[in-house]
Structure 1
């Protein structure tokens, strides 16, 4: 009997410890939240107040109840890890010095995109993979943007360090993140737009795994590194193999002189088989690539009116699109 009581006491202590651990991780739960995308079942979403690891501030974030997973599954950091599973991520790379005029626009693009993503993509998270060391600059942004996570490439939970990898490729690692359900890849010198968002919604509600966009006469490449996306949860193992192939490719080395190697590498490892699983929105090269679709919205005659345009240019595209690239029910859209 004494032995049984002793065992019972031990079990009670263990259960009590588990209970208090549960309370610690859930004490900040406030109320349910309803994200916009229906890609995954998100009934277990909560709004949590969390303390930022490297900043003297707290913020409220949407967090999904997660199965028991280790910190090593994330390809970002603790702030991203606390968001739980089924994250919808828009991923960027930032490298360089914000004080250098030619690089300043990319840093400015962080705040501009964080605000615009909040408006156009509620429930999505903006990730910035970076090599910055000035924590004050980062904290000023992340403390005021609850949808923004910075990912230090020097201390990556899954890879250790990405310092030897070409910076424009850093942003692709959410493809092997078990907490990410869908990922899109963009450039910081361009701001997400309503035109882009309408195309993304068409993709999300389609059966296609990948999304490739071309929206300018100069977009004559199979995959533009800052204008594509993937439904990660649809084929995790395959995408993981692709990422590890990319990281081992000599063209992905940081000492490469060609930052456009990110696009060359995507074509090499993804295009040949991925094109048949992709929804491709194309305004000008629909006759060069098979199985393309027209953008669902008509182009506005205004500055920054094409997907991927550098925001500092304030340029306006006024080139007629080929009739075959126009929507079937809108053949009169000269600027499609």
Structure 2
């Protein structure tokens, strides 16, 4: 093991997630050679994966429902607490690895930045997308500390909490030490750069492995996006930023919460 780990959460009964997971296992050696895969899953999927040929460097970790008060999607964050990890990627089980994604990851690994953020679709409007994040160095240590604090707080998380957590307190601490690959959405005052490889057709990093008619709408949005969109941070993030800048809470209290992008 070289300390390079890709972390997943696999839970629920929808077969597309397990199918996507198996496809990632099959193409891992071609796209991410030398990387270990860690899959945090519930009992049903743990039993199903035990019947499959997983190959080398694939570890399946059984998690109980609401294990440690952590909701299923947040299980993958537990990999930040694993010893010996040097670089850590978080990915969605229903999104299959691509060489375009790996090219961006390799560019990040060779950079001075400790956080890697990819927004490759107009719908990727969170500062941090939970399924395209990478951390190493100081950012990995910071994320591990934040995850540990959440566990010690014994606060039960709910669906979507991982995205709010990553795009809130974590992003505010790492945004100056982040390489942001995006052709679509950037947050002021980020410095961003396009992904190193051209987009193959309508595919994007984080796209679904098995597309339903309802999900086809996301692909159609690619055609309508002709340029990058710059967004101000959402109000819950702006509040934290202002608090860090002014070190005083009164100006922050003037922020109105009626508008999604309020100042």
Structure 2: runs of 5 or more not aligned: 231-263
Match of 1:146 in 2: 56
SS of corresponding position for 1:240: helix
SS of corresponding position for 1:149: strand
CA contact (8 A) 2:127 2:187 kept: no
Q: C-alpha displacement at 1:112, in angstroms?
A: 0.5
Task: Find the aligned partners of 1:287 and 1:245 in 2 and give their Cα distance.
Answer: 27
Match of 2:31 in 1: 120
CA contact (8 A) 2:185 2:229 kept: no
Aligned residues: 223
Q: 5 Å matches for 1:138-287?
A: 138-141=49-52, 143-154=53-64, 162-231=67-136, 233-234=137-138, 237-248=141-152, 253-254=156-157, 256=158, 259-286=159-186
Task: Find the aligned partners of 1:310 and 1:202 in 2 and give their Cα distance.
Answer: 24
CA contact (8 A) 2:18 2:45 kept: no
Q: Any idea what the Cα deviations from partners look like across 1:51-95, whole Å, max 9, x if unmatched? A: xxxxxxxxxxxx4xxxxxxxxxxxxxxxxxxxxxx4211111011
SS of corresponding position for 1:126: strand
Alignment CA distance shift 1:194-1:289 (3 Å) = farther
Higher radius of gyration, 1 or 2: 1
Match of 1:311 in 2: 209
In the alignment, which of 65, 84, 95 is matched to residue 11 of structure 2? 95
Task: Find the aligned partners of 1:240 and 1:134 in 2 and give their Cα distance.
Answer: 26
Q: Any idea what the Cα deviations from partners look like across 1:81-136, whole Å, max 9, x if unmatched? A: xxxxx421111101123xxxxx1101111111111222100000111101125765
Query: TM-score scaled to structure 1, two decimals?
Result: 0.60
Q: C-alpha displacement at 1:320, in angstroms?
A: 4.3
Q: C-alpha displacement at 1:238, in angstroms?
A: 3.0
Alignment CA distance shift 1:236-1:313 (3 Å) = closer
Q: C-alpha displacement at 1:247, in angstroms?
A: 3.1
CA contact (8 A) 2:68 2:151 kept: no
CA contact (8 A) 1:184 1:228 kept: yes
Task: Find the aligned partners of 1:188 and 1:289 in 2 and give their Cα distance.
Answer: 31
Alignment CA distance shift 1:179-1:162 (3 Å) = farther
Match of 1:129 in 2: 40
Query: TM-score scaled to structure 2, two decimals?
Result: 0.76
More helix per residue: 2
Match of 1:14 in 2: none
Alignment CA distance shift 1:219-1:249 (3 Å) = farther
Alignment CA distance shift 1:137-1:215 (3 Å) = same
- Give the superposed CA RMSD: 2.6
Q: C-alpha displacement at 1:293, in angstroms?
A: 1.1
Alignment CA distance shift 1:297-1:135 (3 Å) = closer
